[in-house]
Amino acid sequence: MARINSLAELTAYKNAALAGVSKYLANDSEQTIIYVGMATCGIAAGAEAIFDALNDEVKKQGLQNVVVVPTGCAGKCYAEPLVEIKKPNADSVFASGITADTARKIVSEYLANGTGDYILPNKGYGKQVRIALRNCGIIDPTKIEDYIAVGGYEALAKALTQLGRGGVVDEMKKSLLRGRGGAGFPTGLKWEFGYKNDEPKKYIICNADEGDPGAFMDRSILEGDPHNVLEAMAIAGFAVGAAEGIFYIRAEYPLAVERLYAAIAQAEELGLLGENIMGTGFDFKLSISLGAGAFVCGEETALLNSLEGKRGEPRLRPPFPAQKGLWGLPTINNNVETYANVPAIITRGADWFKSIGTEKCPGTKVFALAGKINNVGLVEVPMGTSLRDIVYEMGGGLPNGKAFKAIQTGGPSGGCIPAQHIDMGVDYESLGSIGSMMGSGGMIVMDEDDCMVNIAKFYLDFTMEESCGKCTPCRIGNTRLYEILDRITKGKGSEADIEQLKELGQVIKNTSLCGLGNSAPNPVLSTVNFFLNEYLTHVNDKKCPAGACKDMVRYVITDKCIGCGICARNCPVNCIHPTQQTLPNGKFLHAINQDQCVKCGECLPKCPPKIKAIIIE
């Protein structure tokens, strides 16, 4: 491929792509497009075989105006493997959970005469506004032609040829884009620190060390639209005067890493990365560094230590990375989603961006919905969207008709928000006001069967394990918090323990070195605040209302037992046996040996639904 040396050549390349390999992306395209989700979630569900079957059947049928496109994640992870069919001048339809055989029928039956009971309506996620995810599920992420066809690298060209370094910084400041990695620091202000620093060598870093359980926003962006982030990093490098950028990405994301390497090579070949970009004299080189899976390395200064070959431990601040970062040089570090907003802001303007969301928190936020929710997946909504809309309209509500109890936002260090706040709009200030946080965007939904004391213990176990151990409040304090929670969930707690949880949790928040320690007590403090009655029931009545704390529950067979023995046959530890008591049907009443029972709960669903002889005490 020939190098692109100017905006005019970029425009010519775009037009050629829309007339050739990427013509299905043209507004007036007459092609029928079959999109196949080929991100990690889709591939794990069998999308590769479906993609091959669709292509093979299109060739067999001799369909000249049908194109099969491998894309990234469209967000509907609950429906994988997912195929989207877009006919000219018609709304998209979807086929979910299909096989290779069904894929062939889509071509031979649906495309031929519109029949097929495997076609689903385009449901859910209706209130999305997609900025960071705007190309995911739309373009082939392995082809730079597709990215350029939808306007890719035009923002970089605008920055280089029209705005200039100061103009880019001013536009980013005006946009009020806040960091989407969790802290919410103004991106433009951070870039201004780098811009005004006189050091001749500076660095741009992309933090792709996404470690929150249940969070997969950054992975999906990199798998579905890698050039978007490359372009943004080049814009950042130009604005602050940096010639080198580094991706710090989890080694556990092999597909994202593979697509990043390919995207960098493609951009360098076209002269959109590397030396003398678009003939402007601006040089910017990108490299990739694989993280070793330490959760704390998501904290920006621990990440810097890791890049330097040191232990992944946070540094004291100030100085801040924009002043003295990697190798002691000015370093701008933003996460994947933050960068994913930048090209759209530069292309469409700060005023457009500020027209979305709230006054203090413009734009959108990508959330990963997981837990007790029907539509597990990704949604991107304007800041200020209510939790109710996210959970029920886009998330499809809770399965099995269960009642919504709480939602945790912000990953394992986020707070648990109760049902009484479900109409709250989601933004940085609102979440912080009730003891939670935005974090990177994970949302875990809990229903009536969840024990909030046990939930707090679960998340604290994670953050305690992932603590780097450098500072005493986090290393020792969170261990003590966990020990108190463990006592309570085993029926050995007291009301004094609850007071100690609150006091110790606040000390850890106020005195820890980095964000991991500062936020680790959030699940504990928020559940004590909103679900105090559950704690009191645990310590005073020695009961777990939800039946989730195994040491506090007993599985008991009542006199409804009909002696069928199904529970005994399914008990993994053989602790259910017939007694000497004869039942009216001639069989024997069964009982559970409480000393042998491991509280696994396998017997409960095995008891015939019409009988329901087993209860939890």
For residue 325, give the 3-state DSSP assignment.
coil
Question: For residues 402 and 381, is the Cβ–Cβ distance under 8 A?
Answer: no
Residue 548 is encoded by which pair of tokens?
A: 């989730």
Could you tell me whether strands 416-418 and 404-409 are parallel, antiparallel, or unpaired per DSSP bridges?
A: antiparallel
pLDDT for 125: 59
Instruction: Locate 171 and state its tokens.
Output: 């536009």
Query: What single DSSP character describes residue 313?
Result: -
The amino acid present at 412, given as its one-letter code, is: P
Tally of helices (H runs) and strands (E runs) in the chain = 26, 18
Element containing residue 192 per DSSP (H, E):
helix 187-196
Predicted pLDDT at 116 = 63
Spatial contact of 156 and 235, defined as CB atoms under 8 Å apart: yes
Distances (CA, A) of 250 to 209, 247, 258, 415: 5, 10, 12, 25
pLDDT of residue 347: 97
Helix 226-240 × helix 336-348 angle, to 10°? 70
Confidence at residue 115, expressed as pLDDT on a 0 to 100 scale: 63
Structural domains in the chain? 31-124 (3.40.30.10), 145-354 (3.40.50.11540), 364-447 (3.10.20.600), 452-541 (1.20.1440.230), 554-616 (3.30.70.20)
Q: Please give the DSSP secondary-structure letter assigned to residue 394.
A: I
Tokens representing residue 565 in the block: 């023995």
Question: Could you tell me whether strands 555-557 and 377-382 are parallel, antiparallel, or unpaired per DSSP bridges?
Answer: unpaired
Q: Residue 523: what pLDDT?
A: 93
pLDDT value for 297: 86
pLDDT of residue 348: 97
CB under 8 Å to 245, separation ≥6 — which residues? 203, 204, 205, 206, 233, 234, 236, 237, 284, 285, 286, 287
Question: What does pTM read for this prediction?
Answer: 0.91
Compute φ and ψ for 577, nearest 5 degrees. -140, 155
pLDDT at 122: 56
d(CA 570, CA 547): 20
What are the average pLDDT values for consecutive 10-residue runs of the chain, which has 617 residues? 89 94 91 94 94 93 92 90 89 86 88 68 70 95 97 97 96 96 90 95 95 87 97 98 96 95 97 96 96 86 93 90 95 96 98 95 94 93 95 92 93 90 93 87 93 94 90 93 95 95 95 89 94 96 89 91 95 95 94 92 91 89
C-alpha distances out from residue 503 to 138, 268, 300, 433, 494, Å: 50, 55, 28, 19, 15
What pLDDT is attached to residue 118?
Answer: 66
| φ, ψ at 563 (rounded to 5°) | 75, 20
Calculate helix-pair angle for 187-196, 164-175, nearest 10 degrees: 150
**Identity of the residue numbered 413:** S
